[in-house]
C-alpha cells in the first residue's frame, strides 16, 4: 500500500455518518482502485454518547476537537461540523501541525477562505472542499482540472436544493412560498431556520467558491449581490411559464471587461434550456468556457452519502498527491491572486435582460408613459403584454420583457415609473438569463 491516511473525523451528522459508512462499506474497493488505505483514527462530536454505537469499538469518540489536532498519527482532518467556530480554529491549528484538511464547509471558506488557503499554502498541505459545492457533483474538480485548458467565461448553477424544491413545487401546484416552505421543512429539505437557504446565502457561498476557482480571485462575500426567493409571488412563476420561462434561483459568476460579477437571484430561464428542467431538490451547474464551450453537471447537491462521495474523492486525491511537492498539487484558489487588484464589477454595470410586472391604472396614456421612460433610460423593450382585462377598481398589470440592458439603467427607469401616479403598487423586477 503506497499511502495510508489516518483520519480525524470532526462531526457525525448526516455527512459525517455517510462518510464513515461509505469508507467502511467500500474500503476494499477504494484501496484496490487507488492504492490508498483510509482509516478513521478518531471521531470528535458534540455528543459522544449518541455516536458511540454507530462507530467501531476500537475508534475513540470524544467531544474535544483538540483531540484530533493533538493526535500525531492523524494526518488528515475531515471537518464536517459546519459554521465558523470551532471549525475555523480546528482547521487552522490542524494546518499548523502539517495535517491536510477536507471540509464541506462552504460558509467558512467563502467568509474566511483567503486566510485558510494562505495558511495551507505556507504549510505545504491541502485544503480540499469538493463537498462544499453541489454535494455529489464533482464541480470543483471539473472546473479546476477538467477545464484547466480553458478561459472560463461564466458559470450559472442551481446549487441549493431546498430553493429548487420550493420553486418546482410552487410552479407545479400554484401554492404560495410560505405554504411550500412548510412542506419542505416537514420533508427535511429545509432547516428549522431556513434563512441561509431561502435568502440565497448558501447559494452565494457556493458560487463565490466557484468564482474563486474559475477566475483565480480571493473570496469576498461583500461583493456578492444576493436576493433569495422568499418574496416571490406565485403570479410571476405563472406568468413566466406562460411566456416560456421557468424561475430558478441561480448563482451566477461571469467575467467581462468590467471585472468579475458574482450574483444570486431568482432568474427566468428559457424552458427549453436543460437548467430550466432541473426539478425538485436536484442541483445543476452550467460552465461556459472558451474551448470546451458549454458543459452541464447534474446531481444530488445534499444528503449524507452523496456528499460523502465528494469528501472521499478528496481524500483519495490527497493520498495520490501526498508524495508530490506542494507546488505541483492543484492550486488552491486566491493564494496566487494579487489582493490589491479590484477584480469586481459594480452591480450597476452588470448586463442582462429583465422581466417587469407593473401594476397600473386603466386610463389613456399609461402605456405611453411607461414606454417613454424605458426608452429615455436606454432600455429596449422585447415584449410588452397586459395579462388581465383591466377594471376601473383594480386597474391591470403590464408585463414587460426587456432586451439586454445595464442594471443601473433599468433601476433608474423603475424609480421614475414608480413615481407615476398611474402606477398603483410596487413594480416587480426579475432578471432573465438566456444562458447563451
Ligand atoms: N442546504 C443545502 C441545500 C445543502 O438545500 O442545497 C447543503 O449545502
Residue 127 near residue 101, CB atoms below 8 Å = yes
Query: Which residue among 17, 99, 106, 206 is the active-site one?
Result: 206
Dihedral over alpha carbons 216, 217, 221, 226 (to 10 degrees)? -60
Q: Whose CA is nearest to atom 7 of ligand 1?
A: 302
Mean pLDDT of all residues in the chain? 94
Q: What are phi and psi of 46, to 5 degrees?
A: -65, -40
197 lines ligand 1 (CB under 6 A): yes
DSSP string, 203-237: HHHHHHHHHHHHHT----GGGEEE--STT--HHHH
What pTM value is reported for the model? Answer: 0.96
The atom of ligand 1 lying closest to the CA of 189 is 5
Question: What pLDDT, on the 0 to 100 scale, is given for residue 338?
Answer: 64
Q: Which residues pair with 83 in a beta bridge?
A: none
pLDDT value of position 191: 76
Question: What's the whole-number mean pLDDT along residues 220-240?
Answer: 97
Residue 159 CA: nearest ligand 1 atom is: 6
Could you give the CA distance from residue 19 to residue 77 in angstroms, rounded to a whole number? 13
Query: d(Cα 120, Cα 99) in Å, to the nearest integer?
Result: 9
Ligand 1 centroid – CA 192 distance (Å): 13
Q: DSSP string spanning 369-388?
A: HHHHHHHHTT--EEEEEE-S
Question: 339 pLDDT band (50/70/90 cuts)?
Answer: low
For residue range 262-307, what is the model confidence (pLDDT) as tens digits? 999 999 999 999 999 999 999 999 999 999 999 999 999 999 999 9
Mean pLDDT, residues 389-412 taken together: 91
**Segment 91-119 mean pLDDT:** 97
Q: Is 206 a catalytic residue?
A: yes
- Ligand 1 site, residue 199, Cβ cutoff 6 A: no
**Distance (Å) from CA 178 to ligand 1 centroid:** 18
Mean pLDDT of 318-323: 85
30-46: pLDDT as tens digits: 998 888 899 999 999 99
Atom of ligand 1 nearest to the CA of 202: 8
Instruction: Indicate if the pLDDT at residue 358 is higher than 50.
Output: yes
Rounded distance, CA 200 to CA 75, Å?
35
Cβ count near 285 (within 10 Å): 28
CA of residue 193 to ligand 1 center, whole Å:
13
Per-residue pLDDT for 330 more than 80? no
The pLDDT > 70 percentage for the chain reads 98
Cβ pair 261, 252 in contact under 8 A: yes
Amino acid at each position: 500500500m503506497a499511502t495510508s491516511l489516518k483520519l480525524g473525523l470532526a462531526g457525525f451528522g448526516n455527512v459525517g455518518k455517510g462518510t464513515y459508512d461509505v469508507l467502511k462499506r467500500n474500503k476494499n474497493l477504494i484501496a484496490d482502485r487507488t492504492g490508498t488505505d483510509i482509516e478513521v483514527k478518531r471521531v470528535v462530536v458534540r455528543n459522544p454518547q449518541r455516536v458511540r454505537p454507530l462507530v467501531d469499538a476500537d475508534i475513540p469518540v470524544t467531544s474535544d476537537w483538540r483531540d484530533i489536532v493533538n493526535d500525531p498519527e492523524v494526518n488528515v482532518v475531515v471537518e464536517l461540523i459546519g459554521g465558523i467556530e470551532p471549525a475555523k480554529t480546528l482547521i487552522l491549528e490542524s494546518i499548523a501541525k502539517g495535517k491536510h484538511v477536507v471540509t464541506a464547509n462552504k460558509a467558512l471558506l467563502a467568509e474566511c477562505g483567503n486566510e485558510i488557503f494562505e495558511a495551507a499554502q505556507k504549510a505545504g498541505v491541502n485544503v480540499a472542499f469538493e463537498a462544499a459545492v453541489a454535494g455529489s457533483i464533482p464541480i470543483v474538480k471539473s472546473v479546476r482540472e477538467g477545464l484547466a485548458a480553458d478561459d472560463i467565461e461564466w458559470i450559472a448553477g442551481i446549487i441549493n436544493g431546498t430553493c429548487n424544491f420550493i420553486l418546482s413545487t410552487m410552479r407545479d401546484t400554484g401554492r404560495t412560498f410560505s405554504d411550500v416552505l412548510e412542506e419542505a421543512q416537514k420533508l427535511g429539505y429545509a432547516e428549522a431556520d431556513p434563512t441561509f437557504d431561502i435568502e440565497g446565502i448558501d447559494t452565494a457561498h457556493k458560487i463565490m467558491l466557484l468564482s474563486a476557482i474559475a477566475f483565480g480571485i480571493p473570496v469576498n462575500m461583500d461583493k456578492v449581490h444576493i436576493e433569495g426567493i422568499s418574496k416571490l409571488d406565485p403570479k410571476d412563476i405563472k406568468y413566466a411559464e406562460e411566456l416560456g420561462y421557468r424561475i430558478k434561483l441561480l448563482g451566477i459568476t461571469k467575467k467581462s471587461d468590467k471585472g468579475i460579477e458574482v450574483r444570486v437571484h431568482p432568474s427566468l430561464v428559457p424552458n427549453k434550456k436543460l437548467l430550466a428542467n432541473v426539478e425538485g431538490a436536484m442541483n445543476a451547474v452550467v460552465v461556459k468556457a472558451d474551448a470546451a464551450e458549454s458543459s452541464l453537471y447534474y446531481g444530488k447537491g445534499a444528503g449524507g452519502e452523496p456528499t460523502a462521495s465528494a469528501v472521499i474523492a478528496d481524500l483519495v486525491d490527497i493520498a495520490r498527491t501526498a508524495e508530490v511537492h506542494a507546488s505541483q498539487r492543484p492550486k488552491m484558489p486566491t493564494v496566487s491572486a494579487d489582493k490589491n487588484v479590484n477584480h469586481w464589477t459594480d452591480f450597476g454595470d452588470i448586463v442582462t435582460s429583465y422581466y417587469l410586472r407593473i401594476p397600473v391604472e386603466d386610463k389613456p396614456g399609461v402605456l405611453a408613459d411607461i414606454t417613454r421612460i424605458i426608452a429615455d433610460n436606454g432600455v429596449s423593450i422585447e415584449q410588452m403584454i397586459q395579462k388581465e382585462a383591466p377594471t376601473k377598481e383594480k386597474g391591470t398589470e403590464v408585463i414587460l420583457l426587456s432586451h439586454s440592458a445595464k442594471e443601473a439603467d433599468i433601476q433608474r427607469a423603475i424609480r421614475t415609473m414608480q413615481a407615476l401616479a398611474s402606477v398603483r403598487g410596487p413594480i416587480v423586477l426579475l432578471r432573465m438569463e438566456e444562458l447563451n
